[in-house]
Amino acid sequence: MRPLTSILVIACMILASCKKDPCKNVICDNGGTCINGTCDCPTGFTGTQCETDACTDGIQNEGEEGIDCGGTCPDVCSITKDFTLFNTANSSLPDNYIYALAIDNNGDKWIGTENGLAKFDGTSWTNFDTNNSDLPENEIRDLLVDQSGNLWVGTWGGGLVKWDGAAWTIYNDTTISISLSYVHQLASDNNGNLWMDDNGLVKFDGTSWTLWNENNSNIPSDYITAIAVDDNGVVWIGTGETGIMEFDGTNWTVYNTANSGLLDNEVYTMNIDQQGIIWAGTHNGLIKFDGNDWTAYTPSNSALDSENVLVKFIDANGNLWMTSLRLFKFDGTNWTHFTHENSDLSGYYITEVIVDENDKIWIGTENSGVGHFELL
């Protein structure tokens, strides 16, 4: 006969083995763990089975660091969606190094690369180079669509080219009265004049060419890095060593670190917004000039992650799209910083940005191709 204590132990073991496991048929998604029959969800997921991404509707707060996803999201939520990248491996893009982007009146995207020009209509690619067109050079440095819908192409070594949809017109040393070979900055004014650089400032009114350089004018510097024209026809010019030059057609005014709020005389980009405010990307921060006051944005007083700033585009809503170490959007008050934690843009060195009529953001990259994404 078994001792009473042994019988009690066996009975307890039988009862324990028959007790129902509350987690036996519970499935927890996205790394969730079942505890007493209920899914304990990791940060960023919710739902009875952790099936819902709590960050899907993440909204950027006023501060660059702040993200509000209902208190269930990680420190930074995804703020982009539907990122698509085109490169030479998965598309007919002629080269992965992108210098320029433009959108024509039909909504077609034009991509200037290191090895030819491409047009993308959303489905099909059409490529142009020195072998299949009258392009004089394959390295495309800048693109501009004018008021008449003509595409102007700045090339590195072949001068300027116009494409009217049917024929190419070439403007370079062999066809016009001035020296024109290396064009990497293009801008237009309200009168249809085209402005560009090549060892000075060049203007083309459709018939005549005018060149201002240090040999034939009072231009302070031939080293031009950026051009923008305001609604009054005043040309604003960034330089590589002299600061900003303002040209009204007759007089030159120089703004530099000695006589203005400019933080650095090396200017990368010049843009003018819908209110006529000048925005300059420099070697030492972002500069805003409203005609009277200068405002500087640097890593010490903004979300910028580097002193080097290149403003690439101002969209229809007045947002500035710029690159520093990474991509930023700035609406004049709030910063959106696109990082590897909150977007799919990690690992890409962005060379160009443009926003289409559907608010889709297109980016050109250095050696990774061209892509687009949308904001959540």
76-96 confidence digits (pLDDT tens): 578 999 999 999 999 999 999
- Summary mean pLDDT of the chain: 88
Torsion angle (degrees, nearest 10) of CA 100, 104, 106, 108: -10
Is the Cα torsion angle 296, 302, 308, 314 positive or negative in sign? negative
Q: Which residue has the higher pLDDT, 73 or 253?
A: 253
What integer pLDDT is reported at residue 62 of this predicted model?
32
Q: What is the mean pLDDT of residues 322-346?
A: 93
Q: Can you list the pairs that 283-292 forms with residues at least 24 positions away whose Cβ atoms lie under 8 Å?
A: 283/307, 283/308, 285/309, 286/311, 286/322, 286/330, 287/261, 287/262, 287/263, 289/244, 289/255, 289/260, 289/261
Tell me which residue of 228, 227, 329 sits closest to 274, measured CA to CA: 228
Mean pLDDT of 261-288: 98
Strands 201-204 and 209-212, sheet pairing? antiparallel
Distance of alpha carbon 139 from alpha carbon 148, whole angstroms: 25
Q: What is the pLDDT of residue 351?
A: 97
pLDDT tens digits along 121-176: 999 999 999 999 999 999 999 999 999 999 999 999 999 999 999 999 999 999 99
Q: pLDDT category, 28, cuts 50, 70, 90?
A: confident
CA distance 156 to 180: 10
Angle at 47 (CA atoms; ends 25, 76), nearest 5 degrees:
130
What was the pLDDT predicted at 291? Answer: 96
Tokens for 88, please give them: 């030479």
Q: Is 187 helix (H, G, I), strand (E, B) or coil?
A: strand
- pTM, two decimals, is 0.81
pLDDT tens, 339-349? 888 999 878 99
| 261-282 average pLDDT score | 98
Cβ-contact 257, 243 below 8 angstroms: yes
